[in-house]
Structure 1
Amino acid sequence: MGSAQAVGGELTARARILHAAVRRFAADGVAAPLRTVAADAGVSAALILHHFGSRDGLREACDAHVLTVARENKAPVLGGGGGAGAMLTQLAQIEGYAPVVGYVLRRLQAGGPLATQLVDGFVSDAVEYLRQGEAAGVVRPSRNPEARARVLTEQALGALLLQLPAQQEHLDLDELPGWLRAYSERIVGPLLEVYTEPLLTDRSLLDSYVESRTGQAPER
C-alpha cells in the first residue's frame, strides 16, 4: 500500500495508524470510530489525536497517502516511457491496492469538501502524468489539458463508485481484490479500444463544436 516510515524495520506508530485508518475507513466508511482505528493500529485514541490533531486531520493524511500511491503507480504507465509494460505490471499487482481503492470509494460516498479536495488532487496528478505522456510521445496533446484530465478522472472514479461491490455498511476487503481483478479484466480492453481506436470515424462533430465555441475553424 505504498511506502511507510520505519525504524529498525518496524512501522512507526504514525505509519501504523495511517495504514490501519485507510483499511478501517475502506471497510466501514470514513465515519468509523477513532477507537476502532486505534485498536487496529495497537495504539490509543489519544495517540491518534497527538499525531493528526483530529479526525479530519487523520482523513486528510489518508487522502495524501492515497494520492501518493496513485501518483507512484499511474505515472509510469503514461509518462516516462513505461508504456504497456508498466500498465501490465500495475494490473498484475492490483489486488494489493484494495484498501486504497476501497478508501477512495468511501471518501466519494461520504461527499463534502474533503471528497472534492481528493478528486481535485487526482485531477492535478492526472494533468501532470498526461503531460509526461505527451512528452514521451504516447499521449496526444490536448486543447484543454485540465478539462481532459478532469473528465478522465471523474469517469474512472464514477465507474468504480457505480460498481462498488458492497453498497451496505461494511466493505469486505478480503473480497475486494478478486472484484478488482474481475473489474479490470472487464474494462481494460474496451477502454484501450476507445483510447486507441476512437469511437467516431471522423472529427466533424468536434470541429463543429470547436467552431461554435470559438467562431473559428479548428486547426488540423
Structure 2
Amino acid sequence: MFNRQSIPQGSATDLNTAARIRDAAIDVFGEHGFQVGVRAIAAAAGVSPGLVNHHFGSKDGLRATCDERVLEIIRTEKAKAIAEPGPGGMLTALAEIEVYAPVVGYMLRSFQAGGQLAEDLLEHMISDAVIYTQTAVDAGRAKPSRDPEARARYIVLCHVGAMNLYLQMRMHREKKIDYRKAIRELSDLTTFPALELYTQGLLTDSTLLDAIQEEK
C-alpha cells in the first residue's frame, strides 16, 4: 500500500484512517474490480463499513478519492524522473517498477468499468502529461512539440492502451493476475523499443508531418 497524508480533512487520526481506507481500496478495486462492496474494502483496511461511509460518503466518493491518489502518484513519480539529471531517474523508476502494481491494477479496472469516472481519470492523466512533458522540454530533456497537447494525448493513449491490452490478455490466460510480475514483463518488453523510438525517431524526414500539418 502507499503511505502518505490523506486528502480528507480532520484530525491526525482521521487522516491516517482515511488514508488507510483509500490505499486499501486501491488494492481491492485493482484486485477485484469496482463491483466489490464497501464491506470488503472495510475488512481490508481493518475498519467498519460505517467508517468508510463516514470518511467518503459513498463508494463513488471513495473511488473519486482513489482516482486523485492514483493521479498524484503518477504525477509525482514522473516529476521525480524528469528532475533527476541524466538517466538516473528513469533507471530508478524501472528498477522499482513493481511497487506501482496497485496503481496499474486500479487503472486497468477503471478503464474496464468505463463511465464518467474512467473518462475523467484519462483526461486528468493527459492534462498532467502536458505539464510534465513541458517540464522536460524546459529542462532540455525533450524536444519541443508543434502541438504539445496532442503529443501528450497520443503518448498517454499509447501507453494506457498497451498496458490494458497486455493485462487483458494476461487475465484471460491466468485465473489470478500477478500485477507485479505482469508489469515487470511488460516493461522488459517495451522499454527499449519505446526509448529507441522516442530518442531516434522512425521516419527519415518530416515530409509527411509537414503535409499533414498543412491540411489542418
**Fold conserved between structures, TM > 0.5:** yes
Say what the alpha-carbon RMSD is for the aligned residues. 2.1
1:61 aligned residue: 65
Identity of aligned residues (%): 45
Identify the match of residue 24 of structure 1 among 21, 28, 48.
Answer: 28
For residues 70-89 of structure 1, what are the structure 2 equivalents within 5 Å?
70-78=74-82, 80-89=83-92
Identify the match of residue 166 of structure 1 among 159, 162, 171.
Answer: 171
Match of 1:58, SS state, is helix
Does 2:184 match 1:200? no
Any unmatched runs of 5+ in structure 1? 214-220
**1:145-194: per-residue Cα shift (whole Å, max 9, x none)?**
1111111101100100000122489754xx22112111101100000111
Aligned letter for 1:176?
Answer: Y
Q: Distance in 2 between matches of 1:212 and 1:73?
A: 37
Identify, as 1 or 2, the structure richer in helix: 2
1:100 aligned residue: 103
Change (3 A) 1:160 1:197: same
Change (3 A) 1:124 1:166: same
Match of 2:201, SS state, is coil
Contact 1:77 1:86 in 2 (8 A): yes
Q: Distance in 1 between matches of 2:94 and 2:197?
A: 19
Does 2:162 match 1:187? no
Contact 2:28 2:41 in 1 (8 A): yes
Contact 1:28 1:171 in 2 (8 A): no
1:177 aligned residue: 180
For residues 42-53 of structure 1, what are the structure 2 equivalents within 5 Å?
42-53=46-57
Point out 4+ residue stretches in structure 1 off by more than 2 angstroms: 5-9, 80-83, 167-172
**1:116-146: per-residue Cα shift (whole Å, max 9, x none)?**
1101111111011111101111111112211
2:212 aligned residue: 209
Contact 2:2 2:23 in 1 (8 A): no
Q: Distance in 1 between matches of 2:212 and 2:119?
A: 29
Q: Distance in 2 between matches of 1:188 and 1:179?
A: 14
Question: TM-score scaled by structure 1?
Answer: 0.89
Question: TM-score scaled by structure 2?
Answer: 0.90
Q: Distance in 2 between matches of 1:179 and 1:112?
A: 26
Change (3 A) 1:46 1:8: closer
